[in-house]
Amino acid sequence: MAKITPSISNAIPFWASMVFVVVWLIAVTNGGWWIILIPLYSTGVASLLDRFLGLSEDNLDPMALESQLFWHKLVTWVWVPIQITLILGTMVAVFWFDHLSVTESILMFLATGTITGGIGITYAHELIHQKDKRERLLGDILLATVLYGHFRTEHILVHHRYIGTPRDAVTARYNESIYHFLPRATIGSFKSAWHVEAERQTKRGRKVGDWSNPFWRYGAGAGIMLFLSAAIGGWAGIALFIMQAMVAVLYLEIIDYIEHYGLTRKYLGDGKYENTAPRHSWNANHKFTNWLLINLQRHSDHHYKPDRRFALLQTYDKADAPQLPYGYPIMAVIACNPRHFRRLMNPEVRKWRNMYYPEITDWTPYKNATTPMPR
């Protein structure tokens, strides 16, 4: 298959997130049933367009120059001020105008959380992977708006290293329900991030509380957002801001649950695992939701080649990577019903095991997070 050269024409579809700005403006201005437009676009419309547009098997040339990706990168940069505006704009609408009821105000923040989680954290994920310090800073700002700054440490230094092993808190175990996974992932990711940074400080001969510990930066970002929320809405403003952040993080962790459910790396002995390969992440080639989520669903290639810009991520067929039956929005809804999710995904995990690891007959050591696997 011929590789496609990056251009503004193939960058434009990845600006699908900008529809949220229009939808949010309609919702926050009118309130009432208009608020439902936000989840309707992110789940209903996006999934219908997936159905209509089908799968995407097109790949941009992975050797493309950075200069050719300007329009692809720009969408992640401009989203930072947009996200801050969405959050603080909702705050202003609630506390400085009187057109939204208490119920409408709460629903508006919940709906905004689906945007800051689905789009904001996705863009932050792209930015914190980059070599440019300015882009990583933009990623930190986005994470501060959802009170999840430690995600940068956890994702880069823990998740990518230990994916598919019991040491990774955000690799969902086979048969594990989303309701067991969520507290384990949120608490475990914070603990693992803190442990890594504390260990790094020790190796550098510094105290854990030294100002070079990035947790100071993570805390400062969160503090600024909480201060702005309090300045606009007092304690109620803080409460609504935290509510927005919780929804955003919930969305992130549901996606984490889906991305690696039941997939494990083979243990080689002596504390070592096989190298990460495309088969260790669920792949999804659904066209529109990949536009909306800037190719996050090409997760197999992301873990195989973490340094690739989202636009250059390559797609895989079922011969090289396990495939999700639907895009992330539908899968997220299904995940909330564990019985339905298991009925859909467990047979796929078993097929994956038989395909890649027919020699493993006992999967008990890979079963759950508490298994004492060697380090």
Nearest to 119 by CA among 23, 36, 224: 23
In angstroms, the Cα distances linking 69 to 42, 140, 182, 311, 329 are 25, 22, 35, 8, 27
The answer to whether 284 and 272 are in contact (CB under 8 A) is no
Nearest to 146 by CA among 225, 86, 239, 78: 225
Express each pLDDT in 337-371 by its tens digit. Answer: 999 999 999 999 999 999 999 988 888 766 544 44
Express each pLDDT in 112-135 by its tens digit. Answer: 999 999 999 999 999 999 999 999
Express each pLDDT in 57-102 by its tens digit. Answer: 889 999 999 999 999 999 999 999 999 999 999 999 999 998 999 9
The answer to whether 4 and 61 are in contact (CB under 8 A) is yes
Non-local CB neighbours of 16 within 8 Å, separated by 6+ positions: 288, 291, 292
Residue 77 C-alpha from the chain's centroid = 17
Q: How far is the C-alpha of 147 from the C-alpha of 72, rounded, in Å?
A: 26
Nearest to 313 by CA among 288, 296, 293: 296
Non-local CB neighbours of 67 within 8 Å, separated by 6+ positions: none
The answer to whether 165 and 273 are in contact (CB under 8 A) is yes
The answer to whether 178 and 254 are in contact (CB under 8 A) is yes
Strand partners, 283: 323
Strands (E), 39-157: none
Note the pLDDT of residue 2: 57
Note the pLDDT of residue 369: 40
User: Which backbone phi and psi does 357 adopt, to 5 degrees?
Assistant: -135, 55
User: What 8-state DSSP symbol labels residue 100?
Assistant: S
| 216 residue type, one letter | W
Note the pLDDT of residue 366: 62
Q: How far is the C-alpha of 98 from the C-alpha of 91, rounded, in Å?
A: 12
Q: Whose structure tokens read 């969405």? A: 86
In angstroms, the Cα distances linking 94 to 39, 48, 87, 230, 232 are 19, 32, 11, 13, 9
Q: How far is the C-alpha of 332 from the C-alpha of 256, rounded, in Å?
A: 10
Cα torsion at 66, 72, 73, 75 (round to 10°)?
A: 170
Q: Which of 213-217, 267-271, 298-302 has the lowest mean pLDDT?
A: 267-271
Note the pLDDT of residue 17: 96
Note the pLDDT of residue 270: 84
On average, the pLDDT of the chain sits at 93
Note the pLDDT of residue 269: 84
